[in-house]
Amino acid sequence: MAAISAAAAAAAEGGDRRRRRRRRGWEEQRRRLGAASRRRRG
């Protein structure tokens, strides 16, 4: 469930504008979220 909280934090930071454009940045965001969660876990 770490990915869900990370996605929620990213959505709150980007706002609705990024949520609307999640089709193009969906793959890039997933890679960034994965790297961030991996760094947080150690």
pLDDT tens column, 1-42: 566 776 676 666 665 555 555 566 667 777 777 777 777 665
Please report how the helices 25-41 and 2-14 are oriented relative to each other, as an axis angle in degrees rounded to 10: 120
Contacts of 14 (CB under 8 A, 6+ apart): none
Parent domain of 8: 2-41
- Into how many domains does the chain fold? 1
Q: Does the predicted model carry a pTM greater than 0.85? A: no
H or E element in which residue 39 lies: helix 25-41
